[in-house]
């Protein structure tokens, strides 16, 4: 490729590189999500055991987290 082609196409290359970096970050977050949800569930159980939340609050939040985890496992 000629030098002029490289210079003219550099904005496109930069955009592609930036899009790849964003994609990598999204994939990393998606990979870390189940561990984060599991840790939050553990913390939620601890809060229930120590009386910091009621059973009703626990039930609502637990359902939300389990639904999120199920969606992730189904690949949504």
- Evaluate whether 62 touches 41 at the Cβ level (below 8 Å): yes
Q: Show me where the domains of the chain are located.
A: 3-74
- pLDDT digit string, tens, across residues 22-64: 999 988 888 889 999 999 999 999 999 999 999 999 999 999 9
Model pTM? 0.63
- pLDDT digit string, tens, across residues 55-74: 999 999 999 999 999 988 88
Question: d(Cα 33, Cα 73) in Å, to the nearest integer?
Answer: 10
For residue 54, what are its two tokens?
């009621």
């Amino acid at each position: 490729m000629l030098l002029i082609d490289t210079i003219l196409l550099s904005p496109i290359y930069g955009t592609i590189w930036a899009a790849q970096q964003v994609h990598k970050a999204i994939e990393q977050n998606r990979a870390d999500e189940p561990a984060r949800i599991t840790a939050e569930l553990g913390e939620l159980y601890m809060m229930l055991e120590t009386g910091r939340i009621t059973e009703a609050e626990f039930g609502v939040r637990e359902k939300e987290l389990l639904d999120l985890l199920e969606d992730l496992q189904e690949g949504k």
